[in-house]
Structure 1
Amino acid sequence: MTRTRPDVVAFDVNETLLDLAPVRAALVEAGEPESLLRTVFARTLLTGFAAAAVGSWCRFRDAFDAALAQESELSADRRASVADAFGELAPHADVEPALRRLTEAGVRVVTLSHGSPGVAEAGLERGGITPLVERSMTSETIRAWKPSREVYLWAAGICDVAPDRMALVAAHGWDVLGAQRAGLTGAWFARSERTFPAVYGEPDVQAPDLAGAVDALLALPPR
């Protein structure tokens, strides 16, 4: 399918836009190695994906707590303190210029997460970039998890655009795959993953960094 320049660009939140450093720090404060976050985050996604696959659902925070309980011996209170650190996230240094480039080009910017409500908004506010984002959406609103097709179609509907007029930018290959299967333009860049998973085929756009992904979307031919 030939892709054209999108009217709306949605961004994944955790890792893609917001740095998880505060959560790593909370793990260390709780007596765990910061490297545990990678395992726990992956298990959190597995928990949510599995629930969605069988027609069930759980909140991101509950999936994270379950994953942390599986991977550590932390008490419930300690686990809650680690989860609370998601409310302290801030944008990566490359986020503000990337979002500003899009808005100055007349492209609408939104966020699309399956994370807890308020996390994206707090992080954007902490980074001083709230004015660059039209709206923040979480699939908890519809009790679903990305990469379910319904999430991306719901987001396009909320933004009042056809799916092919929206793009999703993410540092996670599974998220880009889900967006493309729903008819959106998918843009993957290397941050949390070194390569795009070959089993998914090719993303519509891929770049070595966030700036490159945004530039590639803006370089797509107009409709």
Structure 2
Amino acid sequence: MRARPDVVAFDVNETLLDLAPVRATLVELGEPAELLPTVFGRTLLLGIAGQAAGTWCRFRAAFETALAQLTELSAAERGTVADAFLELSPHPDVEPALRRLTAAGVRAVTLTHGSPGVAEAGLSRGGVTPLVERCLTTESIRTWKPDRAAYLWAAGVCDVPPERMALVAVHSWDVHGAQQAGLTGGWAARAEGSWAEVHPAPHVQGSTLVEVVDGLLDLPA
């Protein structure tokens, strides 16, 4: 039985923030729009595989490396695409989800292995900065999710035990990692459509962030 969390941590890229500006920049540079999921997936592969092997790199370095592997873009052009992460805006379901948490007295934070400043810029652009207590990036401890250290570090920073924190994401692997670390997992189907059945089921799920937040708030105190 899971308990209602005291803190809800949200993944950033794709969960809170729409990657449309990154896609648009790729198109402006002559690349197909449908390339973005492949580049983003290769970025995660590079970072997480390196983590598993005992090395570490920054998200931006992994992203630009993925672009170098998958495109003929110059170094300057790859940097331009990476810069577009600072132009992201929240998805439509973000503000109402955050407002539900605020009204219920539950703290909200962000947790990413992405570049510092991306979450802050996107939240500011969406006018929802006051609804988020703090923005955390695991670059601070040189690790990538789903390493359990990432989730335990976030719980420690927020001064709550893991079982009193939830992680909300649109990526099955991220929610699975959080649950393995002892957090409550909340998965929204907006990006993947269906849960990755190779992992145990999420504690809470819904089609949108609002539905997931409602499910977390419905857990017993």
Per-residue deviation at 1:138? Answer: 0.2
**What are the Cα deviations for residues 182-206 of structure 1, in whole angstroms up to 9, with x where unaligned?**
0000000112101110000211111
**What are the Cα deviations for residues 145-172 of structure 1, in whole angstroms up to 9, with x where unaligned?**
0000000000000000000000000000
Per-residue deviation at 1:127? Answer: 0.5
TM-score, with normalisation over the residues of structure 1?
Answer: 0.98
Aligned counterparts, 1:144-183, within 5 A: 144-183=143-182
User: In the alignment, does 2:85 pair up with 1:115?
Assistant: no
The total of aligned residue pairs comes to 221
1:154 counterpart SS class: helix
Aligned counterparts, 1:1-80, within 5 A: 2-80=1-79
Q: Is the 8 A contact 1:110 1:134 kept in 2?
A: yes
2:174 counterpart SS class: helix
- Alignment partners' CA distance in 2, 1:91 and 1:35: 21
- Alignment partners' CA distance in 2, 1:39 and 1:92: 21
Per-residue deviation at 1:209? Answer: 1.3
Per-residue deviation at 1:128? Answer: 0.5
Q: Is the 8 A contact 1:166 1:185 kept in 2?
A: yes
Per-residue deviation at 1:94? Answer: 1.1
Aligned twin of 1:128: 127
- Alignment partners' CA distance in 2, 1:103 and 1:113: 21
Q: Is the 8 A contact 1:15 1:191 kept in 2?
A: no
Partner amino acid, structure 1, of 2:130? P
Unpaired runs of 5+ in structure 1?
Answer: none
Partner amino acid, structure 1, of 2:63? F
TM-score, with normalisation over the residues of structure 2?
Answer: 0.99
- Alignment partners' CA distance in 2, 1:35 and 1:164: 38
Unpaired runs of 5+ in structure 2?
Answer: none
- Alignment partners' CA distance in 1, 2:131 and 2:211: 19
- Alignment partners' CA distance in 2, 1:178 and 1:64: 21
Large movers: runs of 4+ above 4 Å: none
1:199 counterpart SS class: coil
